[in-house]
């Protein structure tokens, strides 16, 4: 019974991580303009995301513009887009597979070993999804920090780490933590089932 509760907790952590990954993928807060040095005027804030750039003015106006050309985008932005979308696709697939293989569902009711294998596969997909979303978040964070500390770039063109990078990091870690828990439980149950039969 305790393993079913841990399995459910891992599944809901995976769902929470998927939701966070979706939020960080869609919102444009990956990079936010830095207000340093002579660029202390905060009347305008620029934000960049995977899909669009936005400008927020102190008057309350918020204007976003999607990137015009897919081919003109930098390679790291294209790779980040692809990895985040692949992470979301894997998460949706993992949710479906976990729902079939969890102990609290009636799918595959007759076979305990098959059900455990299916749930473990779903957990493994969630962990892979977490790694896929962690790569672009870490990559973009590194890029922002490296660019920020370069002296040859004007201060008006420097950006800081945005909220979506924090959300993406937390989501990736929550997804991997929760589903590694599920994966471990399924592995232990699989070993027990194999010794019994």
CATH of residue 91's domain is 1.20.140.150
Task: Give Cα 174 distance to the centre of its chain.
Answer: 9
Beta pairing, strands 62-66 & 159-161: unpaired
- For residue 47, the model assigns a pLDDT of 92
Flag whether 33 is in a domain.
no
- For residue 39, the model assigns a pLDDT of 54
| Mean pLDDT along residues 78-92 | 95
- For residue 1, the model assigns a pLDDT of 44
Q: Which residues pair with 57 in a beta bridge?
A: 44
Structure tokens that stand for 31 in this block: 């990079």
Which of 90-94, 104-108, 122-126 is predicted most confidently?
Answer: 90-94
| Mean pLDDT along residues 66-80 | 87
- For residue 58, the model assigns a pLDDT of 80
| Tally of structural domains, the chain | 1
Instruction: Supply the range of the domain harboring residue 178.
Output: 2-28+73-196
Higher pLDDT, 192 or 33: 33
Contact between 80 and 139 under an 8 Å Cβ cutoff? The reply is yes
Flag whether 56 is in a domain.
no
CA distances 11 to 29, 97, 108, 112, 187, Å, are 27, 11, 18, 18, 15
Flag whether 129 is in a domain.
yes
Rounded CA-CA distance 186/180 in Å is 10
Flag whether 37 is in a domain.
no
Rounded CA-CA distance 163/24 in Å is 8
Residue that has been written with the tokens 């005027």 in this structure? 41
Flag whether 53 is in a domain.
no
Q: Which of 93, 149, 100 is nearest to 124 (CA)?
A: 93
Q: How confident is the model at residue 41 (pLDDT cuts 50, 70, 90)?
A: low
Beta pairing, strands 44-48 & 62-66: unpaired
**Positive or negative: CA dihedral 123, 94, 115, 3:** positive
* Helices and strands in the chain, H and E counts: 4, 5
């Amino acid at each position: 019974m305790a393993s079913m509760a841990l399995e459910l907790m891992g599944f809901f952590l995976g769902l929470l991580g998927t939701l966070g990954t979706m939020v960080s993928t869609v919102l444009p807060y990956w990079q936010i303009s830095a207000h340093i040095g002579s660029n202390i005027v905060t009347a305008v804030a620029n934000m960049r995301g995977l899909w669009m750039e936005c400008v927020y003015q102190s008057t309350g106006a918020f204007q976003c513009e999607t990137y015009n050309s897919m081919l003109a985008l930098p390679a790291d932005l294209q790779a980040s887009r692809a990895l985040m979308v692949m992470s979301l696709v894997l998460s949706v697939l993992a949710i479906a597979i976990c729902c079939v293989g969890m102990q609290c569902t009636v799918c595959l009711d007759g076979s305990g070993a098959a059900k455990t294998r299916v749930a473990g596969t779903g957990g493994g997909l969630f962990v892979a999804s977490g790694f896929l979303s962690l790569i672009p978040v870490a990559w973009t964070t590194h890029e922002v920090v490296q660019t920020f500390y370069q002296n040859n770039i004007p201060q008006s063109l420097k950006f800081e780490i945005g909220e979506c990078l924090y959300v993406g990091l937390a989501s990736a870690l929550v997804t991997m933590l929760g589903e590694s828990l599920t994966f471990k439980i399924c592995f232990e149950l699989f070993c027990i089932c194999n010794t019994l039969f």
